[in-house]
Structure 1
Amino acid sequence: MKILAYSHRPDETEYFKEFSKKYKVEVVLCEEAPTMENADLAKGFDCISIITTMISDKLVEKFHQVGVKFISTRTIGYDHIDIKKAKELGVHVGNVTYSPNSVANYTVMMILMATRKMKSIMERSNVQDYSLKGVQGKELQNLTVGVIGTGRIGQTVIKHLSGFQCEVLAYDLYENEKIKQYAKYVALEKLFKSSDIITMHVPATEDNYHLIDKSSIATMKEGVFIINTARGSLINTSDLITGIEQKKIGGAALDVIENESNIYYKDLKCEILDNRELAILKSYPNVIVTPHTAFYTDQAVSDMVEHSILSCILFVDGKENPWQVA
């Protein structure tokens, strides 16, 4: 079988070579992101592999027309694909899983950087300002961390946090018995009210859209820290900015943000950002913004490539596919 891999990056090359040989499949690598103009490249391929490019209803329809039966995204999230249109046309969709430590480790780093005011400390150090005013931090053992979502990544974050001796509250629609030795499950409202730090590890769904907004922020503790390494749509960015400006929110660390798809993973250093809210957040001394890189480790990239290839194979062979979502 053959797979067309769009948005191929140089860091993926060795893994595509390794796993195409291991599983005896032909993988054609394409550096371009999928578009209406290059969708014809997929003719003759039952399966394509993509990353985070928006796959609109028109693009899904175009892939359907050229014979694509399965779209595998080398990401956990799949909200960039028009699932409704795919189901309507009978085009199937799959995601991947990868090492939960990649995002979990990054999340703990972001928590520590936010609560220890590392952005200000580092920026001052760069201009040889070694004064202490304004950079006094907090210690984790004195804080309560609220973890929203206890899937693979959320569980790993909680286990990591257990070593810091902080109180951990958790919320999930489906409670995990094993995680109860490290965290206490509470209602979402209780988590909002009681947490000094809130970190989110849930997918982007209609139910989770703007999970953090003006209303939920109003119930939170004064000076709360917001951490997001999941999906930008979980936070109403405008309401977040208001909360920061009113000092209700003491700091934020964001690896994802709304409307990031046409910005992240591009070199835009000489251009004006087409995202005013992102530009505003970057200007605040108590807000850390990183470009959707929490996942980016050697192990995670290897997992993403391997699982995308395996998912395509399982689909074509008509076998049970743990990554198929539609």
Structure 2
Amino acid sequence: MKVVAYNIKDYEKELLALANGKVHDLTLISNALNLTTMQYAHGKEVVVVSAEDKLDAPLIEELHHIGIRKIITRSLTTGHIDLIKAHELDIQIANTPHEDQSPKGIAQQTIQNLTLWSVGKCVGKACCCVNNCSNPAKNKKQS
């Protein structure tokens, strides 16, 4: 998949590259995602963000307009993402909910989400979409 990751810290660069193993086409940007920096997302399929990136409705609309259909947050929380707007525009959202919340674990979870999406599979408990799907892991998380 063609991916741009925003708000990347120096220590994350090597971890994401190692976890990726040259499978996905990753562009790593140290800038936060906003209307000015979203130019780096042109031609990409997925945007990866941090909890520091605020994805409000106007930004999500612009991402959709340039072809982004999937977003991964390198965090447990999704309060910084307008999930309702993403749902309206059919943009899939995933987080990194696994037990290992170390920088290495988050990098591995991010790449795992990309790999699952690249083969047309659900990301399981990492799914943050507001869809009422039949994914047992997601339904268990919502209960």
User: TM-score range with shorter-chain normalisation?
Assistant: 0.7 to 0.9
Partner of 1:19 in structure 2?
19
Whole-angstrom distance in 2 between the partners of 1:313 and 1:91: 17
Match of 1:305 among 107, 110, 119: 107
Deviation at 1:99, TM superposition (A): 3.5
Question: Runs of 4+ in structure 1 displaced over 2 angstroms?
Answer: 97-100
Deviation at 1:98, TM superposition (A): 4.0
Q: Deviations over 1:290-322 (max 9, x none)?
A: xxxxx6xxxx11111111122122123211212
Q: Which residue of 1 aligns with 2:34?
A: 35
What is the TM-score of this pair, normalised by structure 1?
Answer: 0.38
Distance across 1 between alignment mates of 2:10 and 2:58: 29
Structure 2 match to 1:86: 86
Counterpart of 1:60 in structure 2: which amino acid?
Answer: I
Q: 1:74 to 1:32 in 2, by over 3 A?
A: same
Give the equivalent residue in structure 1 for 2:132.
none
1:325 to 128, 136, 140: 128
Query: Residue 46 in 1 paired to residue 79 in 2?
Result: no
Residue 97 (structure 1) shift: 2.2
In 1, Cα distance between the equivalents of 2:114 and 2:64? Answer: 16
Secondary structure of the equivalent of 1:27?
A: strand
8 Å CA contact 1:76, 1:97 repeated in 2: yes
* Cα pair 1:40 1:66 within 8 Å, conserved: no
Per-residue CA distance 1:18-60 (angstroms, 9 max, x = gap):
0121x61121100001001111211111111100111100010
In structure 1, runs of 5+ residues without a counterpart are 101-294
1:56-105 superposed Cα distances (whole Å, 9 cap, x missing partner): 000100100111010000001111100000000111100002435xxxxx
Following superposition of structure 1 onto structure 2, how do residues 96-115 of structure 1 map, counting pairs within 5 Å?
96-99=96-99
* Alpha-carbon contact 1:64-1:91 (below 8 Å) kept: yes
Query: Does the Cα contact within 8 Å between 1:315 and 1:321 map onto a contact in 2?
Result: yes
Larger Rg belongs to:
1
Contact 1:311 1:324 in 2 (8 A): no
Structure 1 CA distance, aligned partners of 2:45 and 2:91? Answer: 10
SS at match of 1:315: helix
CA contact 1:97–1:303 (8 Å) conserved in 2: no
Distance 2:45 2:24 in 1: 12
Write the mapping of 1:117-196 to structure 2, written as runs, cut at 5 A: none
3-state DSSP class of the match of 2:43?
Answer: coil
Which fold has the larger relative contact order, with Cα–Cα distance below 8 Å and residues 6 or more apart in sequence? Answer: 2
- Residue of structure 2 equivalent to 1:95: 95
| Matched residues, number | 127
Residue number in structure 2 paired with 1:126: none
Q: Which amino acid aligns with 1:306?
A: Q
Matched, 1:60 2:60: yes
Alignment of 1:236-247 (within 5 A): none
% identical equivalent positions: 23
SS of the residue corresponding to residue 27 of structure 2 reads strand
Q: Which runs of 5+ in 2 are unaligned?
A: 130-143
Letter in 1 for 2:110: S
Q: TM-score scaled to structure 2, two decimals?
A: 0.83
